Structure 1
Amino acid sequence: MLNRIRLKLDKFVLAIIIIIAIAYMFPQWGAEESPIPIDTISTIGIGLIFFFYGVKLSPSKLKAGLSNWKLHVLIQATTFLVFPIVILLFRPLIQNEEQELFWLAFFFLAALPSTVSSSVVMVSIAKGNIPAAIFNASISGIIGILITPLWLGLFVQSSQTDFDFTEIYLKLILQIIVPVVIGMGLQRFLAQFVQKHNSKLTLFDKSIILLIIYKSFAESFSKNLFSSVSILDLLTLFIGVLGLFGLIFLFTAFIANRLNFSTEDRITAQFCGTKKSLVHGTVFSKILFGNMASLGLILLPLMLFHASQILIISVVASRYQKRKV
């Protein structure tokens, strides 16, 4: 089972690399003058992603998960407070516009909610607290709809992007909240269908994410925005991503030990508290930044973080799996 999950996750990382290569070779398909309506397709796709997310979101499981409040507070505080504060500490070091853009990309990563599917899968492999993982992964996406734009609004207003809170939240309501609510309302009619076709729906979700990534990088390549990014810059970004992940991973372990969490709860805290959602990241970037030319650069640390967290957590989960419960 573990090997199958690893292979599936690795395939998606490989697909991201391939789609970026396609964007580099054929940027004209994603350019503004392209006849292909990628923006329209991705907008409809986003709505469908969160509609089916609403169908799968169980109110009873969310209600049952409320009792373990210390674990929930640690995970959500780490996701939405500790992550951004760590990146804020580096803001005084910015010296030019390029560094400002990379810092904003890291801050965008830090302000995002946790991922749902991989968090629950990895906690399951590691024999952690699965109900708590489901609760926190699900509630994180809902909190992120409110918190992520607030964090970004503190700094994006001064950039080239027209950051209008009214328009941003209207888009979030129409593209995310409304589909989720409708999906939850239709659970009793569609739950069995979604369960039966879950693998196909997962493939659909990833296809939409790849489409958004292609569009973002195609526009950046067409305007030669990556020409100023050197191998040293990429290496620095990767080291920064690993450092950020390692710091948060150790922080959640330290706090969990101080709070005398069980091994299962500590696993859940570390696995859910260190994750950042590529799905929410690509969706939010499209809504928050629109067709900003440097969107590909904004998404770059998130994709490096996504690949790193999958690799590291997979190894850690397999080690936890071998213990006797």
Structure 2
Amino acid sequence: MAGGREVFAVFGKKVGIDPYMIMLLGAMTLGLLLPASGAAAAVLGRVTYVAIALLFFLYGAKLEPRAIRAGFLDWKLQVFVALVTFVLFPLLCIVLSRLAGGVLRPEILMGIVFLGILPSTVQSSIAFTSIANGNVAGAICAASISNFAGVALTPLLAAALISSDQVEISFDAVLRIVVQIVLPFVAGQIVRPWIGPALQRRRAMTLLVDRGSILLIVYSAFSAGTASGLWSEVPAMQIVIMVAAMAALLLVVLGLATFLARASGMDAQSRIAALFCGSTKSLASGLPIAASIFPHAVLGAVVLPLMAYHMIQLLSCAAISQRFSAKKWAESQV
């Protein structure tokens, strides 16, 4: 069964842990123990810059414009996912950051707000929807539209919502995002008719670039944090509190998304798609955008909430999708 193969690929067959999650933790640990410094750090910065641009070029080249156009036909699902992703989620994260203001470091609080303005995942939300017998076509459209909009919308929301004495998102930062992220994405869309089919045939290569770039960004972020002495200033208890806060945030989002989707009058299959597309946040888009916005000295702390939320959402949504599948939730409309 295709859905079963997808979930095995994402979470592992027995232990429920994606090997890629282990690699992410490995990159994080390597950055903590063996940080790059001096000339090596400068080279790492340039390589990371190119990797991010290449990553978004491939995103543009792989994204099917027809899927986005077709998605607008299911307007209720698309509007719901957009509102949850870019309105409800940011509001919840702003409230959470205010509540944790006296407990967590400013960099982590900025990371919580940044998490709120990110687009949905693509592969995971579609796989979860498929496993749960939901509206897969609607999920593909919703996730694609979310990521397409997020390329421009996330930096704009960051400029409006995130500002501090330590990090100010200036015109230069926005211009850097345009050059590093938006232009490669648009270029990928332009050349898609010529290279898109080849990329589809060489998915292993694109997956290597995709995941390799993310691992590079994670190592670079945590390496810079170690070199700047950031981690010596972050108590372990703050990490524990932050992880607990991310778990609570996911629980609230899942509950609200379920309630609001039911109240909207969508059918059961579309409610499943709305649940997974609305509650998940993209690590693949979030890390490159964060690397373009925040100084490397604080980047590691800023992306901590995103990494914690990402891992929690994968494990939780995998269990939820399997539960829906076992009970044939879509057919019974429970």
TM-score by structure 2 length? 0.89
CA 1:22–1:263: 2 relative to 1, 3 Å: same
The residue number in structure 1 matching 2:131 is 125
The residue number in structure 2 matching 1:265 is 270
- Deviation at 1:103? 1.6
C-alpha distance in structure 1 between counterparts of 2:285 and 2:21, whole Å? 16
Trace 1:15-54 onto structure 2 (pairs within 5 A): 15-27=23-35, 29=36, 31-34=37-40, 37-54=43-60
- Deviation at 1:234? 1.7
CA 1:176–1:102: 2 relative to 1, 3 Å: closer
The one-letter amino acid paired with 1:218 is: S
- Deviation at 1:187? 2.2
C-alpha distance in structure 1 between counterparts of 2:312 and 2:98, whole Å? 27
C-alpha distance in structure 2 between counterparts of 1:95 and 1:138, whole Å? 34
C-alpha distance in structure 2 between counterparts of 1:170 and 1:278, whole Å? 22
Q: What does the per-residue CA deviation read over 1:235-273, in whole Å, with 9 as the maximum and x for residues that have no partner?
A: 211110011111011111101111222121111111010
Q: Do the aligned partners of 2:67 and 2:144 also contact (CA within 8 Å) in 1?
A: no
Counterpart of 1:249 (choices 246, 254, 269) is 254
Q: Do the aligned partners of 1:126 and 1:320 also contact (CA within 8 Å) in 2?
A: yes
The residue number in structure 1 matching 2:150 is 144
The one-letter amino acid paired with 1:320 is: F
C-alpha distance in structure 2 between counterparts of 1:93 and 1:322, whole Å? 38
Counterpart of 1:6 (choices 5, 11, 14) is 11
Trace 1:89-168 onto structure 2 (pairs within 5 A): 89-93=95-99, 98-164=104-170, 166-168=171-173
Q: Do the aligned partners of 1:74 and 1:252 also contact (CA within 8 Å) in 2?
A: no
C-alpha distance in structure 1 between counterparts of 2:165 and 2:286, whole Å? 19
Please, which runs of 5 or more residues in structure 2 have no aligned partner?
none
- Deviation at 1:285? 0.9
The residue number in structure 2 matching 1:236 is 241
The residue number in structure 2 matching 1:299 is 303
TM-score by structure 1 length? 0.92
Identical counterparts, % of pairs: 29
C-alpha distance in structure 1 between counterparts of 2:84 and 2:309, whole Å? 16
Secondary structure of 2:269's aligned partner: helix
Secondary structure of 2:40's aligned partner: coil
The one-letter amino acid paired with 2:263 is: R
Q: Do the aligned partners of 1:46 and 1:208 also contact (CA within 8 Å) in 2?
A: yes
- Deviation at 1:110? 0.9
C-alpha distance in structure 2 between counterparts of 1:135 and 1:298, whole Å? 29
Q: Do the aligned partners of 1:75 and 1:269 also contact (CA within 8 Å) in 2?
A: yes
Q: Do the aligned partners of 1:145 and 1:172 also contact (CA within 8 Å) in 2?
A: no
Please, which runs of 5 or more residues in structure 1 have no aligned partner?
none
**Greater shift in the superposed pair: 85-94 or 8-17:** 85-94
Q: Do the aligned partners of 2:62 and 2:196 also contact (CA within 8 Å) in 1?
A: yes
C-alpha distance in structure 2 between counterparts of 1:92 and 1:256, whole Å? 27
The one-letter amino acid paired with 2:317 is: I
Aligned residues: 321
Q: What does the per-residue CA deviation read over 1:128-175, in whole Å, with 9 as the maximum and x for residues that have no partner?
A: 1112111121111222233322332245433212421x3233222222
1:186 aligns with 2:191: yes
- Deviation at 1:208? 0.7
C-alpha distance in structure 1 between counterparts of 2:290 and 2:11, whole Å? 27
C-alpha distance in structure 1 between counterparts of 2:189 and 2:105, whole Å? 42
Q: Do the aligned partners of 2:77 and 2:142 also contact (CA within 8 Å) in 1?
A: no
- Deviation at 1:193? 1.1
C-alpha distance in structure 1 between counterparts of 2:103 and 2:239, whole Å? 17
1:79 aligns with 2:72: no
- Deviation at 1:13? 0.9
The one-letter amino acid paired with 2:194 is: F
Counterpart of 2:176 (choices 158, 171, 176) is 171
Secondary structure of 1:211's aligned partner: helix
CA 1:15–1:65: 2 relative to 1, 3 Å: same
The residue number in structure 2 matching 1:276 is 281
The residue number in structure 2 matching 1:212 is 217
C-alpha distance in structure 1 between counterparts of 2:10 and 2:138, whole Å? 21
C-alpha distance in structure 2 between counterparts of 1:90 and 1:192, whole Å? 44
Q: Do the aligned partners of 2:60 and 2:186 also contact (CA within 8 Å) in 1?
A: yes
Q: Do the aligned partners of 1:32 and 1:219 also contact (CA within 8 Å) in 2?
A: no
- Deviation at 1:74? 1.2
